[in-house]
Amino acid sequence: MPKLIKERVPTPERPVEERVKDFGEVNLGYTFELAVKEAERCLQCPENYAPCIKGCPVHINIPAFIAKIKEGDIKGALRIIWNDNTLPAITGRVCPQEDQCEGACVVGKVGDAVNIGKLERFVADYARKHGIEEELLCEFEEKCTGERGKVAVVGAGPAGLTCAGELAKMGYKVTIFEALHKPGGVLIYGIPEFRLPKEILDHELAKLKRLGVEIKTDHVVGRTVTIEELLKEYDAVFIGTGAGTPKLLNIPGILLDRIYSANEFLTRINLMKAYEFPEYDTPIAVGKKVIVIGAGNTAMDAARSALRLGCDVTIAYRRGEEDVTARIEEVEHAKEEGVKFLYFVQPVEFIGDENGKVKAVKFEKMEPLEERDRRGKRKIRPTGEYITVEADTVIIAIGLEPNRIISEESGLKTNPNGTLVVDENLMTSIPGVFAGGDAIRGEATVILAMGDGKRAAKAIDEYVRAKKASA
């Protein structure tokens, strides 16, 4: 039994005064020596028991890959991870591990949970930098014959990319149809460079292409090509179109200038590199005082991006700090960098100037109650007391809804909130058409979408095999 070490080994980070001046990555990741030291904290729970595996949506054999790190066998660690997750450099950076694998870690019951996410990232980064990934990729390429069948994947976000990678490893020829001019979905337009460098994403996409996955950009399925047309050419279709329709506030002043949805703001920043204007063509207009409404990961990303544009930033949230839904690490980074927080306030009006631009936000103060809602959050009620806060830019980050182009075009059954109806095998109302990720869940996490992509790949394989056997 390994010795129980209660405190985790911290990962190095860039100094605050340096990182707020650019969009470079904040967390520098483990060195080899630090990773081995952290790996030694794992108690090596048996695979059939390990709660961390059960807590992982893609069910990576976590104790096994950590054991390989302790042995110094990074290739072995990467092989174990790739068996269940072909995108560890991404998940190691953006997964909410504290709510999933690390949240279930046995060591975490008496001390700090093993830093599983950072160890996963270490394996991916170390293997990439030292040529180990290339060796293993050659082994995996041999399995990707494309002979088992053809599958179309709609959407190059986390669900679609995972489904494509899993199907490629099974021997399918996969083509991804992506509406935007660059693949990645929320990974490219929603998550800032300081959390997920685009060169990392580009490398992971190139790896999928090596496995035989074809990615066609600028293809809006439902307009450029229909589901019916795809079914004529492919054995099955997977829909992973995500949730890209922003929720807005139906209050006076919503149409004032410089009020952004977080989706638009982050897309301009991340996908179109507005912060490097005029080197890049898409500018973004921001003032000096920014209010971000909401307290999820998207709100933190928007706030920290605005701060790097030189703005004074305040996050306004209708509940208290204990109910903030963003990752703990992201909240801590935001505070370190100078983002301010205003709790228990609900926006009721945007106030404009004579030029039609927002100049302030009127909030009603909220009172916390002892009673909690079904999500475990404290209920709140209006107090009838108001405050007005100056702001020349507002970013609304209160959630997203599924994109509906495909469901409207194809006649797919949907739920009232716009999510696609699927059965226990993730098949939609149209035989041979499967779906996963935010398209069936509403706005959720990257790793949950990836878990759906993996589940769907297995279901698609079973469906295609049965269809061909009965033909």
Residue pointed to by tokens 């337009």:
189
Architecture of domain 144-244+402-470: 3-Layer(bba) Sandwich (3.50)
257-294 per-position pLDDT tens digit? 999 999 999 998 887 766 665 666 667 888 999 999 99
The model's pTM is: 0.92
Has residue 16 got a pLDDT over 80? yes
Q: How far is residue 375's CA from residue 286's CA, in Å, rounded to a whole number?
A: 35
Whether 327 has a pLDDT exceeding 80, the answer reads: yes
Can 144-244+402-470 and 246-400 be said to share one CATH topology?
Answer: yes
- Collapsing DSSP to helix, strand or coil, 6 comes out as coil
Amino acid (1-letter code) at residue 421: V
What is the CA 410 to chain-centroid distance, rounded? 27
pLDDT at 384 over 80: yes
**pLDDT one-digit tens code per residue, 137-158:** 888 888 788 899 999 999 999 9
In angstroms, the CA 224 to CA 230 distance is: 11
| Superfamily of segment(s) 16-138 | Alpha-helical ferredoxin (1.10.1060.10)
Yes or no: say if 399 and 261 are a contact pair by the CB < 8 Å rule. no
* CA–CA distance, 453 with 159 (Å, rounded to integer): 5
pLDDT of residue 283: 72
Residue 90: closest CA among 59, 56, 66, 124: 124
Domain boundaries, the chain: 16-138, 144-244+402-470, 246-400
CATH number of 246-400: 3.50.50.60
Stronger pLDDT, 279 or 455, i.e. the higher one: 455
Q: Is the pLDDT of residue 1 over 70?
A: no
| Higher pLDDT pick, 60 / 374 | 60
User: What is the arithmetic mean of pLDDT over 431-453?
Assistant: 94
* CA 353 – CA 339 distance, rounded (Å): 25
Q: For residue range 191-249, what is the model confidence (pLDDT) as tens digits?
A: 999 999 999 999 999 999 999 999 999 999 988 899 999 999 999 999 999 988 899 99
Helices (H), 309-375: 328-337
